[in-house]
Each structure stands twice: as structure tokens, then as C-alpha cells.
Amino acid sequence: MKLIVSAASLLLLLTLPAAAADLTIDLQDLHAAGGRLKIAAVSAEGWEGKAPPAAAQMLSPSGRQQQVVFRDLPAGRYAVQVMHDENGNGRLDTNIIGMPTEGYGFSNNPRVMRKPTFDEAAFELPEQGTAIVITLR
């Protein structure tokens, strides 16, 4: 009888959904009100392009600041990357030496002259959720 109760309890625990958290992202210093914002929350594998984003949104910004909320993400380690396609051509434009001429940003706002590593942009999303601020460059 104890075995049946234990097995039933284990089965119940295995079928419970993982804790879901909300991630609020406040984007600041958008260069223009037009174009399209592309925002993605990714795992380490997603950072390298080996997995799809855990969450992603594309939207038209309404001003120099924008708030985005990803709901019901599993708690864990993520990084957020943002691209502001200001002219709507579907890509991040660069100048003659390869520096972006449109807005972009990453979680933790790392100040590097290259794409940051996942560890430089990563943060822990706790079960109760969190809010982060990304300043576009």
C-alpha cells in the first residue's frame, strides 16, 4: 500500500508544471519611434544560435522608451538581446567598418566593442519574476 501511495505521489509531482516567471524588460534610449523592435530572451544554447529563443517579440515602438513582458518563462538563466530595425529592412545596418548604425542592446548593458558573451549578458530569472533595464546603443 505504501508503494502505491509513493508511486502516486511521485507521478503527481512529475506532472506538475514547472514554476513560471514573468520577465519585464524596460528598453530605454530608442533612437527613433519607427521601425521594428526585435527582442529575444535566450538560453546559452540560444545565444549561440543552437536553440530557438525561450521567448521573443517583434513590435513597433511608440516612443523613446518601451516596455516588453515575457510571461510564464521557466525560472533559470537567460540573456536578452534587442535589435531596433529603425528603417524596417529586416537587418541591423552597419557602417563601413562594421559598427551598427541602428539601435541594439543586451541584458546587463555590457560595454564591449563586440557582441558580448552569454556570461556577460546573463542573469537569473527567479520563480517570482524580475525586471531588467536595457539601454540601447
84-113 b/e (C-beta count within 10 Å ≥ 16 → b)? bbbeeeeeeeeeeeeeeebbbbbbbbeeee
Residue type, 70: F
pLDDT in the model for residue 9:
47
Q: Over the stretch 7-44, which tens digit does the pLDDT of each residue have?
A: 444 444 444 456 799 999 999 999 888 899 999 999 99
d(CA 85, CA 38): 8
pTM: 0.84
Q: Is the predicted pLDDT of residue 78 greater than 90, yes or no?
A: yes
Q: Over the stretch 37-70, which tens digit does the pLDDT of each residue have?
A: 999 999 999 999 999 999 999 999 989 999 999 9
Q: Over the stretch 81-116, which tens digit does the pLDDT of each residue have?
A: 999 999 999 999 999 999 999 999 999 999 988 999
pLDDT in the model for residue 17:
52
Residue boundaries of the structural domains of the chain: 19-135
d(CA 47, CA 65): 25
Does domain 19-135 fall into CATH 1.10.10? no
